[in-house]
């Protein structure tokens, strides 16, 4: 197996990356042996806005290259497109629906939250 970092995926995903042809060649040579980590997905999500890339499309493409079936990455990308921060999105998808935090975004996206600040949720 061959670990690929963020540069590899950016080279494949950015339309005019100077490393694109090398990345394509390597992808063909290492086909079915490439993997990455959540750190790469997070870094890609942080860079998506800078390069004008769609977080969901990036995630789907990287998952395909890595033969990855982790739906949490795609769920995080979808939260990001809804305006949730990158780190908050990854925390949310790992929370199994319940989270301890003072950050108000979690309640807004439907998670059960134990508010670290001690505030009680507004009654609706």
- Taking only the tens place, the pLDDT of each residue in 88-113 is 999 999 998 999 999 989 999 999 98
Helix axes 38-51, 6-13, angle to 10 degrees: 40
Could you tell me if residue 108 is inside a domain?
no
Number of domains within the chain: 1
Span 12-23, average pLDDT: 92
Question: Is residue 19 in a domain?
Answer: yes
Contacts of residues 81-85 at CB distance under 8 Å and 24 or more positions apart, as own/partner, are 81/54, 81/55, 81/56, 82/109, 84/109
- Once rounded to an integer, what is the mean pLDDT over residues 47-70? 91
Q: Is the pLDDT of residue 45 over 60?
A: yes
| 122: confidence class by pLDDT, cuts 50, 70, 90 | low
Does position 124 have pLDDT exceeding 50, yes or no? no
Is there a domain that residue 6 lies in?
yes
Q: Residue range 56-82: average pLDDT?
A: 93
Q: Which domain holds residue 63?
A: 2-95
């Amino acid at each position: 197996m061959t670990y690929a970092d963020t540069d590899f995926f950016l080279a494949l995903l950015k339309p005019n990356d100077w490393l694109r042809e090398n990345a394509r060649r390597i992808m063909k040579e290492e086909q079915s042996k490439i993997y990455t980590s959540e750190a790469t997905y997070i870094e890609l999500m942080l860079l998506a806005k800078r390069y004008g890339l769609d977080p969901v499309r990036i995630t789907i493409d990287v998952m395909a290259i890595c033969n990855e079936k982790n739906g949490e990455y795609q769920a995080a990308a979808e939260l990001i497109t809804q305006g949730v921060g990158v780190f908050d999105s990854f925390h949310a998808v790992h929370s199994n629906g319940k989270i301890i935090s003072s950050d108000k975004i979690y309640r807004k996206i439907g998670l059960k939250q134990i508010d670290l600040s001690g505030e009680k949720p507004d009654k609706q």
